[in-house]
Chain A
Amino acid sequence: MDSFEERLKRDAAAVRADVSPELESRLQASLEGVAAAKPRARSNRPAWFWLASSLTGTAAALTVIALLNQEEPAAPPASIAAQPLLSVPNLNVRPAVLGPLEDELDKLKSDLEKAERVVRDDVETLLGEVPR
């Protein structure tokens, strides 16, 4: 121990830290008024017990999962199965909006054929017979 360390120790000892009788009785009273806390109840079972119980629990969980996955999916009740999920519209029904359009298309086709015939006749007149 060097002189510096000796001085540190000596000067610390020079600090008066007398515990007064009042403080002493106060300490004693406070200790008597407090109850020592109890440690949480700890089981004295050995460590292998906890390992074994953990493994057992894990195995049980895995077994239940495996059993649940082996079962066939439950069939839905017949009454529900018979019902169509969606009402399918009758596609053969001619919507009202399509009728006039189709009539118009027929008329246009007819006009086109007529115009084509006229043009063909004019060409034949001018150039002779045109192969079809």
Chain B
Amino acid sequence: MLQETELIERAKGGSIGAFTRLVEAYRERLFRFLLTRCQSHADAEDALQETFVNAYRYLYSYRAEWRFSTWIYRIAIRNASSQRSPEVREAPELADESNGPLEACIGEQSRRNIWLAAKRVLNEDTYAAMWLRYVEDMSINDIAVALERTESWAKVNLLRGRKALAAEITRVDAAHPEDIACG
């Protein structure tokens, strides 16, 4: 099996087959993340498509010293932001929380999913930082690069996000003890 760096080099050389292998490796991870960022399932699909198209188009600018996942997540985050209309960005409280793509993908049986709580209590960038850290196992430096922030910002907001999320989980567990029993 070809290594990621070799696939990237081949894709840089014009091999769409090599790039398709990269797409296959990243599409579900990115799609899962985009579902949590976008306002609808369709927006997440559009953002995923734009991410791969832009990545392929500008692959020449990718440098081997970067982690490919960081680079492509950075593109995805930009595309997710651009998918959202200005009205939604200015008035997020108008979004129907129960009908978002994340809620639809989690399903009824997992309504205590911690990422639903995260979406309630964290702002977008802190949420993304938490996702990149705890789901993608990115380093602080990679998170800062992906979110176009400083390392200090990433450290502080990861800490704050974690505290806020822990407090929210405690609050929810206290309010609905029957859910804990059900698992």
Contacts and interface: CB of A to CB of B under 8 A. Distances in A.
Interface of A: 4-5, 7-9, 11-12, 14-19, 23-24, 26-28, 30-32, 34-39
Interface residues of B, number: 39
Interface of B: 11-12, 14, 16, 19-20, 23, 27-29, 31-32, 35-36, 45, 48-49, 52-53, 56-61, 102, 105-107, 110, 113-115, 130-131, 134-135, 162, 166
B45 A36 contact: no
Nearest to A26: B49
B110 A11 contact: yes
B105 A16 contact: yes
A24 B20 CA distance: 10
Contact of B115 (A11, A27, A34): A11
Which DSSP category, helix, strand, loop or mixed, fits chain A's interface? helix
A17 B56 contact: no
Contacts, number: 84
Nearest to B45: A23
B28 A12 contact: no
A30 B113 CA distance: 34
Nearest to A28: B20
29 contacts: A5-B134, A8-B134, A8-B135, A9-B134, A11-B115, A12-B115, A12-B131, A15-B32, A15-B35, A15-B36, A15-B106, A15-B113, A16-B107, A17-B32, A19-B28, A19-B31, A23-B45, A24-B27, A27-B23, A30-B52, A31-B19, A31-B20, A31-B56, A34-B53, A34-B57, A36-B56, A36-B60, A37-B58, A39-B61
Given A15-B32, A15-B106, A34-B56, 20 more contacts: A7-B114, A8-B115, A15-B105, A16-B105, A17-B28, A17-B31, A17-B32, A18-B28, A19-B27, A23-B49, A27-B23, A30-B49, A31-B19, A31-B20, A31-B23, A31-B53, A36-B12, A36-B57, A37-B58, A38-B60
